Copies of this chain bind each other. A is one copy, B any other.
Amino acid sequence: MSLCVALVHHPVYDKHKKVVATALTNLDLHDIARSSRTYGVERFFIVHPVAAQRELAARIAAHWQGGEGAEKNDFRRQAIELLQVVPDLAAAVAALTATHGRPPLVCATAARESAGTPVTFRGFAATARERPALLVLGTGWGLTEEVLAGCDVRLPPIRGVSDYNHLSVRSACAIILDRLYGDRED
């Protein structure tokens, strides 16, 4: 298995469906790194077009990888070391292509329905055992239509027991990784 995760801060929608760049959220970085480490994810890309935000992400990562942070909490260090900061999704794809010698299967996620048939969680997990894959998550109000259209496949929205589907991206990522790789009882 060589699944990677990318958290995209641009281009994503805001609540008025305007295309924006969202601010880095410290707990996105920590929570998604910890979930990634739990489920055997190979690398976790923070995607941000703004250099100052990329530097902030790198500085947070360095804190937990450096002496003081690692000593304080080695579990955080183990999670954070999966982190790689890139300016756009193409850079994440290029990095994985360079590592694996072939491009990853790029899989979009979205809380909203969109055209075409999504892959199943089980199907995508099976594919990702055969070839490198990149799971793409959007911040804000989700990945733009253009990003969705540029991905090879997409997973279905996560449904609970109601029409309410406003999970945080941190929660959605945890659930998706568990659906793909968790020790489910079935």
Q: A162 to B38, Cβ gap below 8 A?
A: yes
Q: B34 to A162, Cβ gap below 8 A?
A: no
Bitwise, A147-160 to B at CB < 8 A (1) or not (0) is 00000000000111
| Given known A-B contacts A170-B170, A171-B170, A37 and B164 have beta carbons under 8 A apart | yes
Q: A79 to B182, Cβ gap below 8 A?
A: no
- Chain B residues within an 8 Å CB radius of A160: 38-40, 177-178, 181-183
Closest to A76 in B: B166
Docked complex Cα distance between A179 and B184 (Å)? 8
**A30 interfacial by beta-carbon distance below 8 Å:** yes
- Chain B residues within an 8 Å CB radius of A73: 15
Q: B185 to A121, Cβ gap below 8 A?
A: yes
| Given known A-B contacts A160-B182, A171-B31, A179-B182, A79 and B38 have beta carbons under 8 A apart | no
Interface set, chain A 131-171, CB cutoff 8 A to B:
158-162, 164-168, 170-171
**A174 interfacial by beta-carbon distance below 8 Å:** yes
| Given known A-B contacts A161-B39, A162-B38, A185-B121, A167 and B174 have beta carbons under 8 A apart | yes
Q: B167 to A168, Cβ gap below 8 A?
A: no
Indicate the member of A121, A170, A171, A175 with the most B CB atoms within 10 Å. Answer: A171
B38, B158, B164, B183: the one within 8 Å of A75 (CB): B164
**A186 interfacial by beta-carbon distance below 8 Å:** yes
Q: Smallest Cβ distance from A155 to chain B, in angstroms? A: 11
B79, B166, B181, B185: the one within 8 Å of A79 (CB): B166
**A114 interfacial by beta-carbon distance below 8 Å:** no
